Amino acid sequence: MTLLAVCPNSSAVLEAAVSAAAKHRCVMLFAATLNQVDFESSYTGWTQAEFVREMFGYAHKYQWPGPLFPCLDHGGPWLKDLHTLAKLSYTETMEKVKTSITACVLSGYKLLHIDPTVDRTLPVNQPVPLELVVENWTVGAASSSLMV
């Protein structure tokens, strides 16, 4: 089975996708990046909770009780433009990402794409070694405020 994931980059796109899901009686996923939807500054203006409320508001408008799945796309360190522009340290960006992931879980997100592929502490174009990803995410998670 193939599932469509729509990028909710505006109210118009969100409404159109929910309307299409209702019309065709199909599952719809909404893959939002932290630049689009986040607890602190997003270009849509939505927090995770506001995004989910608006999604279900459109579901009510179009009388669609079927499956709509809010999702996180590319949730990881420095994948939110503000984190890179502010030159946040690894610890700072990870705390913000963990807060964002917590907001996603508490808002009812159904899929989380955790993306550890960027590390601004490494030389440009150097891939993140798997061992470093494991160390960062296991040690960091044990000592963080991540609530799941």
| Exposure string for 92-113, b = 16+ CB within 10 A, e = fewer | ebbbbbbbbbbbbbebebeeee
What residues does 68 pair with on adjacent strands? 28
**pLDDT tens digits, one per residue of 104-113:** 999 999 999 9
For residue 111, give the CATH number of its domain: 3.20.20.70
What letter would DSSP give residue 66? S
147 inside domain:
no
Instruction: Classify burial at 8, counting beta carbons within 10 Å of its beta carbon; exposed 0-12, middle 13-18, buried 19 or more.
Output: buried
Structural domain for 51, as ranges: 5-142
pTM above 0.85, yes or no: yes
18 inside domain:
yes
**pLDDT tens digits, one per residue of 87-102:** 999 999 999 999 999 9
Residue 7 has pLDDT above 90, yes or no: yes
123 inside domain:
yes
**pLDDT tens digits, one per residue of 99-138:** 999 999 999 999 999 998 889 989 988 888 989 888 877 7
Residue 144 has pLDDT above 60, yes or no: no
51 inside domain:
yes
Count of structural domains within the chain: 1
Residue 145 has pLDDT above 80, yes or no: no
34 inside domain:
yes
124 inside domain:
yes
> What are the structure tokens assigned to 93, written together?
């960006």
76 inside domain:
yes
Q: What is the pLDDT of residue 148?
A: 47
148 inside domain:
no
pLDDT tier for residue 2 given thresholds of 50, 70 and 90: confident
